[in-house]
A and B are shown apart, each in its own frame.
Chain A
Amino acid sequence: MQVLTINGQRRELDVDPDMPLLWAIRDVLELTGTKFGCGQALCGACTVMVDGMPARSCQTSVGDAAGKPIVTIEGVDGKVAQAVQAAWIKLDVPQCGYCQSGQIISAVGLLSQNRKPNDDEIDAAMSGNLCRCATYHRIRGAIHEAARMLEA
C-alpha cells in the first residue's frame, strides 16, 4: 500500500511503488487535469508540484513521491496560482488547452521563486513545457501579467 499526500489529502493506493506518479494520479485517483504527453519528461504536460517544486509526474515514481506534498492543477491555490490562472484567462492563452495544466504549474513554480522574471528567465523556466499550438507568445505575456497582478 502506497500513501500519497495529494492536494492536501492523504490517499492510500494499492499500487506498486514503481508506478509513475502520472498514472497513479490519472488512473487510480482519477484526477485527470494532469496530462500524458510523452512519458519521458520531454513535454511537461504531466507537470505537478512535488514538495513545492514543479516535477514531471511521468518520470516520478509513486514510491519517490510518497510522504511529500503533491499538488495538481485541481488543487493548485494561493496568491501566485490565482494570479497565473487569472492572467491565463485574461489573455486567452489556451488553444487546445491540453498542455496548459503543465504550463500553469511550471509558471506558478517560476513566479514562486522569481516575482518579476524577464523574457529570458521565462524561456528558461518554461522550456520543458511543449505547446504544439505554440501559445508561447501568450504564455510569456500571461506570466508578465501575473507578475504585475502580484505586484499590485
Chain B
Amino acid sequence: MLFDRLGSAPRLSDHAATDAAGPAVPDLSRRRFLLAAAAIGGGLAVGFRAAPAEAAATAAPAAAATNPFAAYLRIAPDNTVTVLSAHMDMGQGIYHGTATLVAEELGAAWEQMRAEGGWGNPKLYGNLAWGGTMQGTGGSSGTFSSFDRYRQAGAAARMMLVAAAAKAWSVPAAEIKVDKGVVSHASGRKASFGDLAAAAAAMPVPADVTLKASDAWTLIGNETLPRIDSREKSTGRQTFTIDVKLPGLLTAVMIHPPVFGAKVKSFDAAKAKAIKGVVDVVAIHRGVAVVADTMWSALKGREAVTVVWDETGAETRSTAEIMASYRELAAKPGATVAENRGDVDGAFAGAAKVIEARYEFPYLAHAALEPLNAVARRNADGTIEIWGGHQMPDLYQMIAAKVADTTPDKIVLHVMKTGGGFGRRAVFDADVVAEAVAVGRAIGWKAPVKVQWTREDDMRGGRYRPAYVHALKAGLDKDGRIVAWSNRIVGQSIMKGTAFEAMVTNGVDPTSVEGSAHLPYAMPNRRVELTTTDVGVPVLWWRAVGSTHTAYAVETFLDELAAAAGRDPVEFRLDMLQGSPRHAAVLKMAAEKAGWGAPLPAGRFRGVAVAESFGTVVAQVAELTVGKAGAIKVERVVCAVDCGTAVNPDMIRAQIEGGIGFGLGAILKSKLTLDKGRVVEGNFDGYEVLRIEDMPKVEVHILASNAKPTGVGEPGVPPIGPAVANAYAKATGKRIRALPFAQSLNT
C-alpha cells in the first residue's frame, strides 16, 4: 500500500526537550512540512513525510508510528473530507479549528468537513509547542501547533485534486478553479472532491505549497462559520466514552484506596459475587474492580465488597495541617529561586513604604461532567482497542502495552470527544486507561470492559490543582512607584517525578511559578522564590495551571499597591507596561470597552486584572454588586484578548466566556479538603461549582492581529479571580486573600 511510505518514515530529528509550558519553545512551526499521500479506501489521504536531512536521525522504537493508516486528512469517494486532528477535543473546539484550517486551503465546502482524533504517529501529530516529538493536547497549544501543518496539508490535497482534474480534462492545471468543494474549468467541466479523490491519490505529492495570503481567507476569521459539532451536541447524538456500545460490553467500577498511597491488602467479594449481574471482582494495581453487566449492578456489587487496605506510607495529613506547614515555609526564604533581578534587599531597605500580604489557595478538582472512563477490548489478532479521552496518546499506548504485557504497536486507540477535561485527562500514569486494560486482562479478556468512575470516584481520585501559599512583599518609593518586589511560593510540583521532569530546572517547576516570575511589569528589583513541598496528594495541571494562583496573587496585590500609592489601578499598571505593548493594548481595550472611569449605578463596583498565559494576553474588567447578606453578584465582565490571528472568532469568545465561568466558580466556591488524608468532598453538594445564576454577562473583544495564533482554552481563566477580588475590595474595603471567597467570608 502506498501509505507505507508514511508509516515507515522516520521521526523528526527535533530533540528539543519536551516543553509543556516554558517560555523557550522552539518555533518548529515555521518548518516547511513535506507531505506524503496515499490511496486509501478509494480516496485520497494526505500526511507528512520526513525531510531527507531529518531521515538520518534514528528513531527510538517506542516513537515509531504505530498507526500507519493515519494522516492529516482523508477525502472519501462519498465527498466527505475528514480531518484527523493531532489534538483531542474536550469541548475547546480544536476539531472545528483544524477543519477550518484544512477547508480554507483545500477550498472545501464547510458542510463536507468532518473531524476525528489522530493518534499513534508522533512524527505526524507531535505537538510543535512541545518540541514536536510527543503527541498531546494541553497548554492551549492546539491551534498554534496546527496552524501551518494543517493548512499545508489542505493546500497539497487541493493541488493533487487539481492535477487529477487537469489530467482527466486535458487542460492546464493553472486554469482550474477550486471553490466550495467544486473543482471546475471554464470549459464547463466540474467535479466534486469525491469524484477526483482516487485519481488524485496517484498524482505526485507537491514538494512545496504556497499558502493563501491572509486577505484571501474566507473561513479563517469567519464570524459566522457554524461550529462543526453543534448539531450532534444539541440532539444527544454526540457519543462520548461513556456511550461506547460493543457486543457483550461489561461495566466495571473501581474501589480506590481511601487515602492516597494505600494498597490493597485483602478483599472479600463473596457477597458481591452473589448479586445479580455481577460478573467478577478483581484486584488490579490501582485497587479492586467490580465487573458487571450494567453500571447499576456494578454499583450494587461494590457496596458488598469489603477491602482491607495497607496504609503504610500513605498521606494521612489534613489540609489544615498541610496549609499550616505551607504558611511556616512561606515565612522563610525559598528553597529555590525562579527569578532574581537587581538589588531586591537594598531596594527594600530604601523603600518609603513596605506592604506585605499572604495568599492561600486550596486544592481544586477538575470535576469535568463526564466522570473518568475508558473502554478496552482485546481482539482475536492480539490487538487491544481502547476508547477514551486520550490526551497524551503515545504515552498511553506505551503504558497500555506495559499493563497488557504486549507491544505499543498492538494498542489501537479510539480518541473520543470528552465531556470536559480541564487537564484531567492528561495524566502521566494514564490512570483510567490503564485501569481499563488491567481489568480486561484480569478477567482474561473474556469481554470488552468499560471502567466508569462515579462522581465520587472522580472527586476523590486525586490529580488536583495543587494547594499553594504565596507571600508577597513590595516596596514603594515616595512617589508610589514599586521599587522592590518579592514573591515566595510554596506548594507541590506537578512535573517532578513524571515524564515531564526534564522541564524542572534548578529545582524550579515552571508550572509553579508561571505568572509570577518574569512579569511583564517594569520592576527593576524583583525576586521570585519557590519551595516545592513533598505531599502525597497527586496533583495535575488544572485549566490555566500556575496562572490560576499566581495571577490572583500578583494582580490583587498590585491593586493593593495602587491603592496605597493613591493611583488608578489601570494607570498604575500602564505605567509599568511600557515595555510590554501587548499587555498594555489589551488593558487599554478592556478599560475602554468597560467604560473604566465612568460612573456606575449605585452599589456597583469595578475591578481590573491582566494576565498572560500560554502566549495569550487577556485583560478583564469585572463589575459586581454586594447584597445585604454579603452575597457577591458578578454582573458583567468585559474582556479583551490578544491571541494573535483569530482563526475562529466565535470559538475564541466561547472559550473566554467558559474560562471566565470556570475561574469564577472556583474563586467563589470551590475547595477540596482532606481530613486525615481522606477527601471530604464527594459530589457537587460539597464541592460547589458555578451555576447559571452566578454567571455574569460577558463581552469578549478580540484584538486585531496578524501574528501566529496562540491558545484560548485556558487564558480566559486567570484574570477573572483578581478582577472580581479587586472589585470586591473597592466595594467593601476587604481584601480576600484565602480562596475560595465563600470560606473567607464565613470566617
By a CB distance below 8 angstroms, the chain B residues around A88 are: 230, 234
Kindly state whether residue A123 has any CB partner on chain B within 8 Å. yes
For residue B239, which residues in chain A have a CB less than 8 angstroms away from its CB?
32
Stretch of B168-176, B363-371, B426-434 contacting A (4+ beta carbons < 8 Å): B363-371
Point out the residues of chain A lying under 8 angstroms from B692, CB to CB. 122-123, 126-127, 129, 131, 136, 139-140
The docked-state distance in angstroms from the alpha carbon of A21 to that of B178 is: 52
The reply to whether B227 and A134 form a contact with Cβ atoms under 8 Å apart is no
Write the nearest CB–CB distance from B683 to chain A, whole angstroms.
Answer: 5
Per-position 1/0 for B274-299, Cβ under 8 A of A: 00000000000000000001111000
Measured CB to CB, the nearest residue on chain A to B700 is A137
Would you call A43 an interface residue if the criterion is a C-beta within 8 Å of the partner chain's C-beta atoms?
Answer: yes
In angstroms, Cα B236 to Cα A72, docked, is 9
A116 contacts partner chain B, Cβ-Cβ < 8 Å: no
Most chain A beta-carbon neighbours within 10 Å: one of B90, B239, B245, B658: B658
A96 touches B693 (CB 8 A): no
Does any Cβ of B come within 8 Å of A151's Cβ? no
| A98→B369 contact, CB < 8 A | yes
CB-CB under 8 A from A138, the residues of chain B are 654, 657
Chain B, residues 176-218, CB within 8 Å of chain A (1/0): the string is 0000000000000000000000000000000000000000000
Query: Can you list, as one digit per residue, whether each of B680-718 has a CB less than 8 Å from chain A (1) or not (0)?
Result: 000111000111110111100000000000000000000
Tell me whether A40 and B455 are in contact in the complex, defined as CB-CB below 8 angstroms, given that A122-B692, A127-B693 are known contacts.
yes
Q: A129-B692, A135-B654, A136-B690 are in contact. Are A98 and B455 (CB under 8 A)?
A: no
As a 0/1 sequence over residues 26 to 41 of chain A, the CB contacts with chain B under 8 angstroms (1 = contact) are 1110101111111110
**Residue B229 lies at the interface, judged by CB distance under 8 Å to chain A:** yes
Q: Are B697 and A95 in contact (CB under 8 A)?
A: no
Cβ–Cβ contact B369 & A37, under 8 A = yes
Report the stretch among B107-115, B257-265, B416-424, B517-525 that lies at the interface. Answer: B416-424
- Chain A residues with Cβ under 8 A from B398's Cβ? none
B230 and A94 contact, CB distance less than 8 A = yes
Q: Using A23-B296, A37-B371 as known contacts, say yes or no to A96 and B698 having CB atoms under 8 A apart.
A: no
Provide the residues of chain B in CB contact with A37, threshold 8 Å.
369-371, 455
B251 interface residue per 8 A CB criterion? yes
A93 to B227, CA, bound (A): 9
List of B residues within 8 angstroms of A33 by Cβ: 235-237
Which secondary structure characterizes the binding site on chain A?
A: loop
Q: Are B295 and A127 touching (Cβ within 8 A)?
A: no
B226 interface hit (Cβ, 8 Å)? yes
Interface: B240 (CB within 8 A): yes
B84: which A residues are within 8 A, CB to CB? none
Knowing A38-B684, A137-B697 touch, does A100 contact B661 (C-beta < 8 A)?
A: no
Assess whether B662 is in contact with A93, with CB atoms less than 8 Å apart: no
Q: Is the C-beta of A66 less than 8 angstroms from some C-beta in chain B?
A: no
Q: How far is B689's CA from A37's CA once the two chains are assembled, in angstroms? A: 13
Name the distance in Å between A123's Cβ and chain B's nearest Cβ: 4
Number of interface residues of B (CB under 8 A): 63
Those of A79-110 within 8 Å (CB) of chain B? 85, 88-89, 92-101, 104
Is there an interface contact between A27 and B295, defined as CB atoms closer than 8 Å? yes
| Residues of chain B lying within 8 A (CB to CB) of residue A42 | 455, 683-685
Q: State whether B658 touches A98 (Cβ < 8 A).
A: no
Which of B92, B235, B422, B698 gathers the greatest number of chain A CB atoms within 10 Å?
B235
Within 8 A of A (CB), among B418-455: 418-422, 452, 454-455
- Chain A's nearest CB lies how many Å from the CB of B612? 22
1/0 contact string of B452-483 vs chain A (CB within 8 Å): 10110000000000000000000000000000
Quick one: given A23-B296, A138-B657, are A39 and B454 in contact (CB under 8 Å)?
yes
Contacts of A124 in B (CB 8 A): 693
Chain A: number of interface residues, binned into ranges: 35 or more
A136 in complex: contacting residue of B418, B683, B695, CB < 8 Å: B695
CA distance A45 to B698 in the complex (A): 24
A27 to B409 Cα, complex, angstroms: 32
Q: Does B102 touch A at the CB level, under 8 Å?
A: no
Query: In the complex, A72→B683 CA distance in Å?
Result: 24
B238 within 8 A of A: yes
> Which residues of B sit under 8 angstroms from A43, Cβ to Cβ?
369, 455, 684
Q: Give the complex CA separation of A93 and B243 in angstroms.
A: 21
**Given A32-B245, A37-B369, does the pair A135, B235 have CB atoms closer than 8 Å?**
no
What's the Cα separation between A97 and B692 when bound, in Å?
16
Q: Compute how far the CA of A122 lies from the CA of B691 in the bound complex, rounded to whole angstroms.
A: 12
**CB contact under 8 A between A99 and B236, given known A42-B684, A130-B689, A138-B657:** no
Complex contacts, A122 vs chain B, CB 8 Å:
692
Decide if A36 touches B296 in the complex (CB within 8 Å). Answer: no
Contact between A97 and B294 (Cβ–Cβ < 8 Å)?
A: no
Contact: A93 with B294, CB < 8 Å?
A: no
Which residues of chain A are within 8 angstroms of B452 by Cβ–Cβ distance? 36
Q: A42-B684, A130-B689 are in contact. Are A89 and B226 (CB under 8 A)?
A: yes
Return A34 CB to nearest CB of chain B, in Å.
Answer: 7
Report which residue of A23, A32, A97, A140 has the largest number of chain B beta carbons within 10 angstroms of its beta carbon.
Answer: A97
Taking CB atoms and an 8 Å cut-off, the chain B residues in 59-94 that contact chain A are 90-93
The reply to whether B422 and A132 form a contact with Cβ atoms under 8 Å apart is: yes
Please indicate the chain A residues that have their CB under 8 angstroms from the CB of B659 in the complex. 134
Q: 19 additional contacts, CB 8 Å, given A45-B369, A122-B692, A134-B665?
A: A35-B242, A35-B370, A37-B369, A73-B236, A74-B236, A88-B234, A94-B233, A96-B420, A97-B232, A97-B238, A98-B91, A98-B368, A124-B693, A127-B693, A134-B659, A134-B660, A135-B657, A136-B661, A137-B661
Contact surface of B with A, Cβ cutoff 8 Å:
90-93, 226-227, 229-240, 242-243, 245, 251, 293-296, 367-371, 417-422, 452, 454-455, 650, 654-655, 657-662, 664-665, 683-685, 689-693, 695-698
- 18 examples of A-B residue contacts, CB within 8 angstroms: A20-B296, A23-B296, A26-B295, A27-B294, A32-B242, A35-B369, A35-B370, A35-B419, A37-B455, A42-B455, A85-B234, A89-B231, A94-B227, A96-B91, A99-B369, A100-B234, A127-B692, A136-B661
